[in-house]
Amino acid sequence: MINHISQKVRLYNGVEMPWLGLGVHKSKEGAEVENAVLSAIETGYRSIDTATLYANESGVGKAVKASGIARGELFITTKIWNTDQGYESTFRAVETSLNKLQTDYLDLYLIHWSIGQRSVETWKAMEELYAQGKLRAIGVSNFLISHLQSLMAQVTVKPMVNQYEFHPNLTQPALYEFCRKHGIQSEAWRPIMKGLVNEIPLLNEMAAKYGKTPVQLVLRWDLQKGVVTIPKSVHPERIRSNADIFDFEIEEEDMKRIDSLDKNYRLGDDPNDLENLFLKYGKP
Ligand SMILES: NC(=O)c1ccc[n+]([C@@H]2O[C@H](COP(=O)([O-])OP(=O)(O)OC[C@H]3O[C@@H](n4cnc5c(N)ncnc54)[C@H](OP(=O)(O)O)[C@@H]3O)[C@@H](O)[C@H]2O)c1
């Protein structure tokens, strides 16, 4: 039973990753992200999920230093952006992230999106950095089954983590099962649907039964499904409330009721629609 914020899941390579982390997508570089990270660390979070795209790695690094918590107790994830993908450029991207984050290793480094064969080259560089110990664990994000199968057929090290959109309206059951079968840890992004879970009547009804909020219910559902979760907030009271999920257990029948809300409904970008991704963020 997961009953404390300090609890971690063991990835297949033995590295331990906290079940709960703070997401910082859209947390502004500077005071906003720094205060969010400090507030999370004070609450007991030990894992922070950033990305080159978020343009706030420097603020995360600054706050981590200011927190006074030993580096070894923290778990820092960042992601390579599409335009940095490729073999040589990956070494440069990792160096840049390390400098911004003021650290000499990353706990987890992810390919943010699969962009075809170039992602295989990216991965080969990541395998080398993993062997050198600069990356303690390596993984992917937004990889569908076909992306994972193609990558795994061409490389030596299997991803330790796949971070993908996962919430009550999008559970991607086949992908979830595939990851489970292959020992790839699932990690949920947009876990609370940007707060929209608070507007789903069934979740309100169920949350009341447990004396919790719909947000807390859904974050607990992640943990009981064996999915690492990284809700984002820049507000200390929400950061605290989002971590208040370790003192109750959702009954099996209620877990299934939450599962039944799946509508295959994406709030974010579709990993199969690279054209849209490139239109939105530029073609690498
Ligand atoms: N790999 C990827 O492609 C990818 C894509 C998207 C996200 N992510 C990662 O996943 C993390 C989480 O996803 P997300 O940020 O998109 O969405 P989310 O965590 O589902 O929702 C965050 C939003 O909900 C609000 N919120 C937070 N706590 C709340 C609460 N208790 N009640 C009501 N509203 C609340 C936040 O506002 P305030 O900040 O104003 O509190 C923010 O607007 C990201 O930060 C990022 O690290 C990864």
184-198 confidence digits (pLDDT tens): 999 999 999 999 999
Number of domains in the chain: 1
Coil, helix or strand at residue 259: helix
Whether 15 is covered by a domain: the verdict is yes
| Percentage with pLDDT > 70 across the chain | 100
- Rounded to an integer, the average pLDDT of 209-227 is 98
Directed axis angle between helix 252-259 and helix 201-210, to 10°?
160
Nearest-atom number in ligand 1 for the CA of 36 is: 39
Residue nearest to atom 38 of ligand 1 (CA): 233
Whether 169 is covered by a domain: the verdict is yes
Q: What is the pLDDT of residues 15-67, one digit of tens each?
A: 999 999 999 999 999 999 999 999 999 999 999 999 999 999 999 999 999 99
Whether 134 is covered by a domain: the verdict is yes
Whether 82 is covered by a domain: the verdict is yes
d(CA 80, CA 44): 27
Q: What is the pLDDT of residues 230-252, one digit of tens each?
A: 999 999 999 999 999 999 999 99
CA 159 to chain centre: 14
- Rounded to an integer, the average pLDDT of 215-231 is 99
Range of the domain at 259: 8-281
Whether 56 is covered by a domain: the verdict is yes
Q: Is the pLDDT of residue 228 over 90?
A: yes
| Residues belonging to the active site | 54
Centre of ligand 1 to C-alpha 191, Å, is 7
Q: Is 29 left (phi over 0), alpha (psi -120 to 50) or beta?
A: beta
Whether 269 is covered by a domain: the verdict is yes
- Rounded to an integer, the average pLDDT of 211-224 is 98
pLDDT band at 282 (very low <50, low <70, confident <90, very high): confident
The residues near 182 (Cβ < 8 Å, ≥ 6 apart) are 148, 152, 158
Centre of ligand 1 to C-alpha 117, Å, is 30
Q: What is the pLDDT of residues 145-174, one digit of tens each?
A: 999 999 999 999 999 999 999 999 999 999
pTM for the model: 0.98
Whether 164 is covered by a domain: the verdict is yes
Whether 3 is covered by a domain: the verdict is no
Residue nearest to atom 42 of ligand 1 (CA): 194
Centre of ligand 1 to C-alpha 154, Å, is 33
* CATH code (residue 66): 3.20.20.100
- Rounded to an integer, the average pLDDT of 107-131 is 98
pLDDT confidence of residue 145: 98
